[in-house]
Amino acid sequence: MTTSKRTIAIVCGGDSSEHDVSLRSAQGLYSFFDKERYNVYIVDFNRLDWRVNLPDGTSTPIDRNDFSFQENGETHHFDYAYITIHGTPGENGLLQGYFDLIGLPYSTSGVLVEALTFNKFVLNQYLRGYGVSVADSLLIRKGYEEVASEDEIEERIGMPCFVKPAADGSSFGVSKVKNKDQLAPAIRKAMLESSDVMVESYLEGTEISIGCYKTKEKSVVLPATEVVTNNEFFDYDAKYNGQVQEITPARLNPDTARRVAELTSHIYDILRCNGIIRIDYIIGKGKGSNGEEVDKIHLLEINTTPGMTLTSFIPQQVKAAGLEMKDVLSDIVENQF
């Protein structure tokens, strides 16, 4: 007896500066999916132009009424959407709301969680209430740039600091500011990506990134990746042009590695996430209860649609964990059926 395959849409593209990065993630996911188990199509979003790539190399429009498409004169419906859009509308809850309305299961968390994690400032304030350590920060909104003067920002946040879009990805519009004279141009640069800008204090330490996913049967926290770059920070060139050393598993002492894994799992549960997330941390130094030096874990941000190219963090971590990407993806898809 044969069982019909589920039809999977790998949804990529989107409306942010990371459109092309998303296309690369889609290609990675396409290579990872178990084709014996699933019929897999790539669906490219470019604002209101939604198109599915067909096996013959052509593309055809998606009917936005029900997310169906025509192939060889037949109407095809998807069973599941794997969202790999980095930025709007796939990482901020907009697309999730659409899929909820038409009843199509998808790979990410729901509308509220996506909106919350997309805005770094709001997320940090929310998780601070659960005892998660985050950098001090303030929010500047377009049209209200004069709320905090450069002197006030320097006194409150300190120098150096980071200026970044509050509601966008982490590859564009980010600046490391070393003195207050650099604040205004950095804020203008960030506002090209988002109308909300976060000014965040600088955290000294080792940057790591760690993936996590859960299903009804299992809870998996992947080995962390240590990020080493000679750039000022982990910027676009470091991420995508090879100007970085990525060490998986990260060089953490066993107790710190255990605490990072436990915190990652705890945050996943606090937010009630779905699918694979990736959390970035800074591991700094601090004083323990007895005055001894200990590793302090500070959250940077949460990525709910992490990169999925062959060299991205998550595939590296899955391999280091002794797992296969096709099995991980199948676990995530089947968890919702």
Query: pLDDT per residue over 71-123, tens digit each?
Result: 999 999 999 999 999 989 999 999 999 999 999 999 999 999 999 999 999 99
pLDDT digit string, tens, across residues 267-282: 999 999 999 999 999 9
Residue 244 clears pLDDT 80, i.e. is over it: no
Neighbours of 205 (CB within 10 A): 15
Q: Give the lowest-confidence range in 150-154, 260-264, 313-317.
A: 150-154
Residue 127 clears pLDDT 60, i.e. is over it: yes
pLDDT at 1: 38
CB 276 within 8 A of CB 333: no
Residue 332 clears pLDDT 90, i.e. is over it: yes
pLDDT at 2: 47
pLDDT digit string, tens, across residues 57-74: 999 999 999 999 999 999
Q: Give the lowest-confidence range in 4-8, 58-62, 239-243.
A: 239-243
Q: Which residues contact 289 (CB under 8 A, 6 or more apart)?
A: none
pLDDT above 90: percentage of residues in the chain:
81
pLDDT at 16: 84
Q: Output the six-digit token pair for 267.
A: 């945050």
Q: Output the six-digit token pair for 333.
A: 């898809």
Average pLDDT, the chain: 92
pLDDT band at 233 (very low <50, low <70, confident <90, very high): low
pLDDT at 172: 81
- Choose between 265 and 235: higher pLDDT: 265
Reference 276, options 300, 249, 303; nearest CA is 303
Mean pLDDT along residues 22-30: 96
Q: Which residues contact 302 (CB under 8 A, 6 or more apart)?
A: 117, 123, 267, 271, 277, 278, 279, 280
Label each residue of 34-95 as H, E or C. Answer: CCCCEEEEEEEEECCEEEEECCCCCEEECECCCCEEEECCEEEECCEEEECCCCCCCCCCHH
CB 304 within 8 A of CB 275: yes
Residue 242 clears pLDDT 60, i.e. is over it: no
Which amino acid, 28?
A: G
CA distance 224 to 279: 9
Residue that is written with structure tokens 């998986």 in the block: 248
| C-alpha triplet 16, 11, 227: angle, nearest 5° | 60
